Amino acid sequence: MATQTIHAPAVPANGASIPALGFGTFRMPGDDTARMVKHVLDLGYRHVDTAQIYGNEAEVGEGLAASGVARGEIFLTTKVWVENYTHAAFIASVEESLKKLKTDYVDLLLLHWPNDAVPLAEQIGALNEVKRAGKVRHIGVSNFNTALMAEAITLSDAPLVTNQIEYHPYLDQSKVIEAARAAGLSVTAYYGMADGKVFQNEALRDIAATHGRSVAQVVLRWLVQQEGVIALSKTVGEARAAENFKIFDFALNASEMAAIAGLARPDGRLVSPEGLAPEWD
230: nearest Cα among 9, 6, 2: 9
The CA angle 241-207-178, to the nearest 5 degrees, is 80
Give dist(CA 25, CA 81) in Å, integer.
15
Give dist(CA 265, CA 171) in Å, integer.
6
The active-site residue out of 54, 85, 167, 170 is 54
Instruction: Mark whether 54 is an active-site residue.
Output: yes
First to last CA, the chain: 52
Give dist(CA 13, CA 150) in Å, integer.
16
The CA angle 35-9-59, to the nearest 5 degrees, is 20
Residue 168 counted as an annotated binding residue: no
Which residues does the annotation place in the binding site for substrate? Answer: 112
Per the annotation, binding residues are: 112
Residues noted as catalytic: 54
